[in-house]
Every structure is written in C-alpha cells, then in structure tokens.
Amino acid sequence: MGCNDPAFTDAQPIHKVRLSGFWLDKTTVTNEQFDKFVKETNYITVAERTPQQKDFPNAKTENLVAGSLVFKAPEHPVPLGNHYQWWQYVQGANWRHPEGPDSNIKDRMNHPVVHVAWQDTAAYAKWAHKRLPTEAEFEYAARGGLNQKTFSWGDQLKPNDKWQANIWQGHFPSHNTQEDGYFSTSPIGSFPANGFGLYDMTGNVWQWCSDWYRADYYKTLRNRITVNPQGPDDSFDPKEPRVAKRVQRGGSFLCSDQYCARYLVGARGKGEPDSSSCHVGFRCAQDKNL
Ligand SMILES: [Ca+2]
C-alpha cells in the first residue's frame, strides 16, 4: 500500500496491510440511487442547508448561503498556485443542481452523485446497511489484484492508446480536450473495470473513505503488517493544520499530469467532512460475513 512518487510524501512509506474479506460496490453511488435514499428518508445534504452563524462566527450574514464548490474553467491559462481561479462557491449548487440552480441531473441519473459531504455519505451508507470503505480497503480494491502497479489497471497511463479512466486531458484548468470523452462526470461504468470487476476506482469522482486523514499516518505503519487499519485517531494536514479532514481516494475528472495527478493508485486525497464539491462522490463497502 502506498506510492513512491516523490510528489506524494503522505503516501509513503510503502507498507503492508492485511485485510479481512469485504464487499465493495462495483460502482460509485449514482444520482438515481441517492434520489431513492432521499425520497425514503427526506434527508437534506449539507450543501442544501443554510450555514449557521454559530458555526461561522466570522462570516458576514449575507455570505451564509447554502451552496457548494463548482469548477469553472478560466477562459485563459492561469498560474496553478491559486485554486480560487477555478473553484467557485455557488449558491444553490448541490447534488440536484451540480452547476447551480439552473442545472439539473435529469440526464445524469446514472452519473455519480456529487456535492455530497462526508456526513451525507455516512448517512446514505447507514440507510443502505453498508458502510464507507477504509482507505486500506479502497486501495486494495483499486489495485484489482495487481501488485505494485502505478495505476489500477497496470503501469501504462494509456495502454493501447485507450484511456482507462475519466481524468483531464489538455491544459489545466483552462482547456480540457476531453480526449477521454468527458469534460465533467461520466456515467458509471464508462471505462473498463479493474481486475476485481470494479468500475471507476480511478478518476471520475474522488471517493470518501471512513478514515481520518493524517499526512504522517503511513510512517506509523512502517516495517510491520497492519491488520485491518482503520486510520489514525485524529486528523492532521500540515497544509491546513486547523482543519480536520477525512480521506478521499481515486482522483477525479479534474486530475491532470500538470496538477494533482492523483490518479496514481497509491496516491491519497483529503477533504473537510462538511465540505462538498462537483467532483467528490463515494461508494459503499460491506463486511463479508453479512
Ligand atoms: Ca475527462
């Protein structure tokens, strides 16, 4: 488990884990599946709730509006140091309206649900009598039975000149050539399954895992075999020390070799549990003895 790419120090060292058997959804949870959950439970996602002043004491009242982060491609190339050049908090953006109030999911019912916060995905998993996968389970599953490969399908990014996942081609973030066929999310199962028959373990949308994120967690697991690791007890991201985060895996349609590149099977991602955006979704796991 892990990744030797020098850019991803939080995914090092490579270490061994041993896992009990488990089931993992073949695909990410779709809009259609999430719609069923919401219809049965009247669940309201975090992005649909108006933020409360007590939770954001320094925010101006007029800024306390329900919404979510939406990717907007700048018209011209921009320096990659400031992600606010392509991320916008859009009022009214949520899982039903991925680009904002004027957008809808009518033609995207078989796409992954997005704009779901970690706690939304945990609520769905509980309703489905499932759970989120651990980070170790996700990586084991993503590797599809291959050992120490760069990607979830092998060592070549584009074997036989065919894209194996929905990522970004072209100049990030201003020009997406959509060589793989998709600017944004793709319908589930649009790319080949991996060795375990799982779809979109790489690309399309980031997927929440159950673990807290610590950049130094793998260093605590070196030189031994850890059985069923559940993640650290708390979170620490040196890049944002005061923000607790959960692990995300897989990368998304926004991952490019110029930025992010976290479509490597051992690479890690992270996000605030209350945050949501247009390129983060999830899938569920189940214990094998159920
Ligand atoms: Ca794409």
Q: At 186, which CATH number? A: 3.90.1580.10
Task: Flag whether 92 is in a domain.
Answer: no
Domain assignment of residue 26, given as a range: 1-44+110-290
Q: How far is the CA of 40 from the centre of ligand 1 (A)?
A: 33
- Asked if residue 104 is part of any domain, the answer here is no
Please give the distance, rounded to the nearest whole angstrom, from the Cα atom of residue 204 to the centre of ligand 1. Answer: 7
10 Å Cβ neighbour count for 159? Answer: 13
Residue 260 has a pLDDT of 81
Alpha carbon of 85 to ligand 1 centroid (Å): 20
pLDDT tens-place values along the chain, 290 residues long: 999 999 999 999 999 999 999 999 999 999 999 999 999 999 999 999 999 999 888 889 888 999 999 999 999 999 888 888 999 999 999 999 999 999 999 999 999 999 999 999 999 999 999 999 999 999 999 999 999 999 999 999 999 999 999 999 999 999 999 999 999 999 999 999 999 999 999 999 999 999 999 999 999 999 999 999 999 999 999 999 999 999 999 999 999 988 888 999 999 999 999 999 999 999 999 999 76
CB 159 within 8 A of CB 153: yes
Query: Phi, psi at residue 70, to the nearest 5°?
Result: -125, 135
pTM of the predicted model, to two decimals?
Answer: 0.96
Structural domain contains residue 55: no
Instruction: Tell whether 71 is covered by a domain.
Output: no
Instruction: Tell me whether residue 61 is in a domain.
Output: no
CA of 53 to the centre of ligand 1 (A): 38
Distance 163 CA to ligand 1 centre (A): 9
CA 253 – ligand 1 centroid, Å: 5
Which residues lie near ion ligand 1 (Cβ < 5 Å)? 166, 180, 182, 253
Angle 31-41/118-127 helices, nearest 10 degrees?
A: 70
Question: Which residue has tokens 């108006």?
Answer: 50
Give 255 Cα–ligand 1 centroid separation in angstroms: 9
127's enclosing H/E stretch is helix 118-127
Supply the pLDDT for residue 63.
86
Residue 85 lies in a domain: no
The Å distance, Cα 56 to ligand 1 centre, comes to: 35
| pLDDT in the model for residue 55 | 87
Q: Does residue 128 lie in a domain region?
A: yes
Q: Are 176 and 168 in contact (CB under 8 A)?
A: yes
266 CA distance to ligand 1 middle (Å): 20
Verify cis geometry, omega within 30 degrees of 0, for the bond prior to 173: yes
Q: Is residue 270, in this structure, part of any structural domain at all?
A: yes
Whole-number pLDDT of residue 247: 98
d(CA 284, CA 125): 6
**What total of structural domains would you count in the chain?**
1
Cβ atoms of residues 104 and 96 within 8 Å:
yes
- What pLDDT, on a 0 to 100 scale, did the predictor assign at position 290? 61
| pLDDT computed for residue 67 by the predictor | 97
Kind and range of the H or E element at 140?
A: helix 135-143
Query: For position 24, what pLDDT does the model report?
Result: 98
| 254 and 279 Cβ atoms separated by less than 8 Å | yes
How much distance in Å is there from the Cα of 242 to the middle of ligand 1? 33
Give 89's strand partners: 69
